[in-house]
Amino acid sequence: MAKSKEEEFTAVELLLADIAKALSHPARIKILKILAEKNICICGDIVEILPLAQATVSQHLKELKRVGFIQGEIEGPKTNYCLNYGFLKKAGDSFKNIFDKINKGENLLCKTKKK
């Protein structure tokens, strides 16, 4: 029986890849910055700041929420979005950990001439 390629990777590796994918669009980075500045925001408020259509902003919010960067609370016909600081800490710590491990081996893996 064939194994799924995802079975070859750890849960942390899959999480980091998913986080990186979610952050791979500059609009999503900007949305996170907006939410950090305003603490809570409605999709329409973000649309007024970004040069994107409401439907596009909604899709970016959906992806950020799917991964766990943001939370949304429905109030009537609107959804208030805010940062999920617990997940942000987990994501930051996970990336720091992997980069620390990578950097420890930097001189062992590749010897290149410095310019």
Residue pLDDT, tens place only, 7-30: 789 998 999 999 999 999 999 999
**What's the farthest any 2 CA atoms get from each other in the chain?**
61
DSSP 114: -
Supply the pLDDT for residue 73: 86
**pLDDT-derived band at 80, boundaries 50, 70, 90:** very high
- Average pLDDT for residues 33-54, to the nearest whole number? 92
As a whole-number percent, the residues of the chain with pLDDT over 90 amount to: 66
Residue 63: name the closest of 20, 9, 7, 12 by CA: 20
**pLDDT-derived band at 103, boundaries 50, 70, 90:** confident
Q: List pLDDT tens digits, range 46-78.
A: 999 999 999 999 999 999 999 999 998 888 778
Give the domain 11-95 fold: Arc Repressor Mutant, subunit A (1.10.10)
Domain boundaries, the chain: 11-95
50 SS3 class? coil
